[in-house]
Amino acid sequence: MGEAEFVRVETSGHVATIRLDRPKMNALNRRVQEEIAEAARLVDADPDAHAVVVYGGERVFAAGADVKEMAVMSYAEMAVHSRALQDCFTAVARIGKPVIAAITGYALGGGCELALCADLRVAGESAKLGQPEITLGIIPGAGGTQRLPRLVGPARAKDLIFTGRHVSAAEALAIGLVDRVVPDEEVYPAALELAATFAGGPAAAIRAAKLAVDHGLETDLDTGLEIERLQFSGLFATEDAREGMTAFAEKRRPTFTGR
């Protein structure tokens, strides 16, 4: 794909930031989607990155897919492209580390769907979220009809998807669409602070916990419990598990190495 043009990765203190920067509104065209997926793969594979923040800058998180690009696509073209579109967002959801979306301004359509791929969402007081695709005569195509109801429940998700209305930060917090609301200028620092709480933790255990929750939600309880059991048992092969339990017995703080 060559050098990234609109998405860059910045790492500081074991926290990696996936920074979207496509003026003016971070419209998610094909190039941006591909660069997001590549950034997700980079931070997932980076042992120095213990947690990840997805950030669109001070003005806007992401105002959705590039409508001008989509408007000229035929059914045949979109049938192919929609698979790539979903795969790009799924790459973010599959980062095996805590991922926090730092939401300023608008997170609409594909922008909201990108935020849904994070584990936690911090929003500014004036942020607006929503799935307005219905106003274009289409539906969400990058996970909105699937991840949104899993997060806020089917009735609330249908309300947002059927109407296409924008949700304030306060309402988003009330329905569980975001997890924390802070003053606009504090969004990125708050997300970094939250991400930093996971730095230095047992990386293999956190990855296992995320996988168990995410995969368990997609299946029946008995299968989910088996997923949990296998992940739980497997961690007993790690140095971190030995260190954690030894430190507990010795009444000291553990020092985890990610091994």
DSSP H or E segment with residue 220: none
Domain that holds residue 24: 7-196
Nearest-angstrom CA–CA distance, 204 and 244 = 12
Whether 182 and 213 map to the same domain: the answer is no
Tell me which residue of 87, 103, 3, 78 sits closest to 40, measured CA to CA.
Answer: 87
User: Which pLDDT score, from 0 to 100, does residue 86 have?
Assistant: 94
Residue 1 reports pLDDT greater than 60: no
Domain-embedded: residue 257:
no
In a shared domain, residues 36 and 89: yes
SS3 17: strand
Confidence band of 4 (pLDDT split at 50, 70, 90): confident
Q: Does residue 255 lie in a domain region?
A: no
User: Within 10 A of 92 (CB to CB), how many other CB atoms are there?
Assistant: 26
Written as six digits, the tokens of 81 are: 């492209």
Query: Could you read off the pLDDT of 70-81 as tens digits, one per residue?
Result: 899 999 999 998
Annotated catalytic residues are: 113, 133
Q: What is the pTM of this model?
A: 0.95
Residue 1 lies in a domain: no
Final residue before a domain boundary, out of 160, 180, 196 = 196
The span from the CA of 14 to the CA of 8, in Å, is 16
Indicate if 124 and 233 belong to the same structural domain.
no
CA distance 156 to 161: 9
Has residue 64 got a pLDDT over 90? no
Which CATH number characterizes residue 220's domain? 1.10.12.10
Instruction: Round the average pLDDT of the chain to a whole number and report it.
Output: 95
The predicted-structure confidence for 124-164, as pLDDT tens digits, reads as follows 999 999 999 999 999 999 999 999 999 999 999 999 999 99
pLDDT at 66 over 90: no
| Residue 94 belongs to a domain | yes
